[in-house]
Structure 1
Amino acid sequence: MSATSLQLSAGMRDALQLWLQGLHALDGASEHTITAYGHDVGQFLGFLAGHHGGSAGLRQLADVTQSDMRAWMAWERAAGLGSRSLARKLSSIKSFARWLADREAFDISAILATRAPRFSRKLPRPLSTDAARDVLEIAALQTREDWTGLRDTAVLTLLYGCGLRVSEALGLWGRDAPLREALRIHGKGGKERVVPVLPVAQQAVAAYLAACPHPNAPDAPLFRGTRGGALSRRHIAKVMEQARMQLGLPATATPHALRHSFATHLLGAGGDLRAIQELLGHASLQSTQVYTAVDAGRLMEIYHASHPRAHG
């Protein structure tokens, strides 16, 4: 049991656990998200307990004042928390407070009235078409064994050619091979989407499997490490790190940047924003707009070309 949980009353611990279970069961939140939410809210409740003395109980949340919220934010700032992280924590706290207030019927207006600090949203930086192609080519030349080079190229090709997240590419199983013309992907929050697979991606995976010394088994990871276990995210990050150093690319050239590039290049070629949203598995179109890093002029062109009312 953590030090924070020791500062909570039994009722508050039970309520927090019940809320987290609901997020997992009803909203399909990932284990990583659940852990982050629990940590954020637990720290806040621990702060309240220390701030007022005693343990944080259910009714204590109803007595939170704007002064308490300002003190909490100052405490987090003093600990070195940035604006983006503080805004995320506040969002977690408000979500839990709303849920608890509905159950216990008390007022949490002081919490809900607290405004998140402003922060500048960093736009993702996609690679140019040539740079993305160079990354795929050089990845095959960075390893001592041919099959590991083919493997790394295959993973990166899925990121750039299909817009997969690293976790989604590494989450494929042996039974997914040989890749068909479309992949059924289970993304964030358990959301399912169907992603077309380009012939170049099919060929890259087939070349890797043909050279891989570990037999492909239906219930084994598709992408294997040197010893046969599942390939790690850290390895793919290292592959990109080496590629960008050799090619002179900026630090923003990460594995995830290939996914950004997939979306941006599709949009630049005339792709429909809604269709790209579905391919990426984004819950909102706003996320896709930010993700593709397109300028406002280009978005307006798409809007006028596709929106029915733009022609009325």
Structure 2
Amino acid sequence: MAGDTGIVPGLQANSDLLHLIESWQRWLAHEKRMSAHTLQAYTRDLSAFLDFLREHQGYLPDTAMLAGLSTADFRAWMTRRTLNGLQKSSSARALSTLRNFYRWAARNGHFDNPAITALRSPRQGLQVPKALDEQDARAALDSVQDLDERPWIGKRDTAILLLLYGAGLRIGEALSLTPADLPGPGQEVLVVTGKGNKQRQLPLLPVIQQALQDYMAHCPHDLPPDRPLFRGVRGGPLSARIVQGRMQELRGWLGLPEKATPHALRHSFATHLLAGGGDLRAIQELLGHASLSTTQRYTAVDSAGLRRVYDQAHPRARRGS
């Protein structure tokens, strides 16, 4: 039978397997504290795999089928993804999703299949973060307030972009802030809850604090301490799509590159800190990266900046030898 999980409709599998998937989703949400966005991506990956199996095997997937798949079956799935034009990064994530589900099923005594461990992730080139240069980042911050005739919306959008570029927040982190999260009088530290429900402390520049206070003073909607800080036109929580749309407008208005997105401002925060001599470990803490290797990607973005530091600081470079 076909069934829906309640998170991503349309999962095609027999009823026992559907119930198992729902238990896995609850574990991801409540035990692993996975964000709703990531959980949806995991479920879509698993759904696409089940769709492939239904066609590949000729009947609805069940636990016995998953337990009996061979390495060749898993490779056929990966090959199909390649033929469908899916990127290596997408297939690597889908394989990670599948491994997660199989590990969970084995740990909980449902089924096991060692064949999946023999499958290697697609090799990927270095994924370089798409940062803006300082001039483009500044132009976006200076101009976003002019996109709407209502002053409070311009102040709202300015405050959000400053949080992304000036403090390195993810868009979801910025939109989940409440007035109670903001530093009190005489304080400069913002406590942010990021991925995995992990908290980190971020120093807020005075210009960001001022922008936040300016927005709150002009927002026409009530802002209770424990409710979302940033609001839409009708007073509901602001959607990330609105912020993405603002950046799209700025791209057209200012002639910014296609990489000019809200997340690119976070990348720009890290890249420009590194170019200014910032410590990689400190930048890792500010971004909330679990692994230093993730932060090290920014060294590839500013190779020219690192060369300038070398030319100015290294003794042999100064001597020209």
Structure 1 length normalisation: TM-score? Answer: 0.86
Q: Partner of 1:19 in structure 2?
A: 24
Q: Partner of 2:175 in structure 1?
A: 170
2:161 to 156, 162, 166: 156
Q: Shift of the alpha carbon at 1:127?
A: 1.8
Unaligned runs of 5+ in 2: 314-321
- Secondary structure, counterpart of 2:130 in structure 1: coil
- Secondary structure, counterpart of 1:140 in structure 2: helix
One-letter identity of the residue aligned with 1:295: S
Q: Shift of the alpha carbon at 1:58?
A: 2.5
Q: Shift of the alpha carbon at 1:165?
A: 0.9
8 A contact 2:271–2:302 mirrored in 1: yes
Tell me: CA distance 1:98–1:143, structure 2 relative to 1, closer, same or farther (3 Å).
same
Q: Partner of 1:295 in structure 2?
A: 303
Q: Partner of 2:196 in structure 1?
A: 189
Residues in 2 aligned to 1:147 and 1:124: alpha-carbon distance in whole angstroms = 32
- Match status 1:76 vs 2:84: no
2:50 to 23, 45, 48: 45
Tell me: CA distance 1:98–1:215, structure 2 relative to 1, closer, same or farther (3 Å).
closer
Residues in 2 aligned to 1:242 and 1:222: alpha-carbon distance in whole angstroms = 23
- The Cα offsets for residues 79-105 of structure 1, whole Å up to 9 and x where unpaired, read as 443322122111111121223234449
Q: Partner of 1:239 in structure 2?
A: 246
* Comparing 290-299 and 198-207, the one that deviates more: 290-299
Residues in 1 aligned to 2:170 and 2:280: alpha-carbon distance in whole angstroms = 18
* Aligned ranges 1:262-281 → 2 under 5 Å: 262-281=269-288
Tell me: CA distance 1:261–1:68, structure 2 relative to 1, closer, same or farther (3 Å).
same
Residues in 1 aligned to 2:58 and 2:210: alpha-carbon distance in whole angstroms = 63
- The Cα offsets for residues 3-46 of structure 1, whole Å up to 9 and x where unpaired, read as 86453351x33332222222223322112222322332243234
Q: Shift of the alpha carbon at 1:205?
A: 1.1
Q: Shift of the alpha carbon at 1:237?
A: 1.3
Q: Partner of 2:263 in structure 1?
A: 256
8 A contact 1:184–1:193 mirrored in 2: yes
Unaligned runs of 5+ in 1: 306-312
* Aligned ranges 1:84-123 → 2 under 5 Å: 84-104=89-109, 108-123=113-128
8 A contact 2:105–2:112 mirrored in 1: no
1:126 to 106, 128, 131: 131
- Match status 1:211 vs 2:218: yes
Residues in 2 aligned to 1:242 and 1:35: alpha-carbon distance in whole angstroms = 28
Aligned residues: 301
Across the aligned residues of Structure 1 and Structure 2, the Cα RMSD in angstroms comes to 2.7
1:7 to 13, 19, 38: 13
Tell me: CA distance 1:39–1:298, structure 2 relative to 1, closer, same or farther (3 Å).
same
Residues in 1 aligned to 2:14 and 2:278: alpha-carbon distance in whole angstroms = 52
- Secondary structure, counterpart of 1:193 in structure 2: strand
One-letter identity of the residue aligned with 2:229: L
Residues in 2 aligned to 1:297 and 1:236: alpha-carbon distance in whole angstroms = 30
* Identical pairs, percent: 47
Q: Shift of the alpha carbon at 1:296?
A: 9.8
One-letter identity of the residue aligned with 1:257: A
Residues in 1 aligned to 2:121 and 2:278: alpha-carbon distance in whole angstroms = 35
8 A contact 2:191–2:201 mirrored in 1: yes
8 A contact 2:12–2:50 mirrored in 1: no
Tell me: CA distance 1:126–1:68, structure 2 relative to 1, closer, same or farther (3 Å).
same
8 A contact 1:150–1:204 mirrored in 2: yes
1:138 to 127, 133, 143: 143
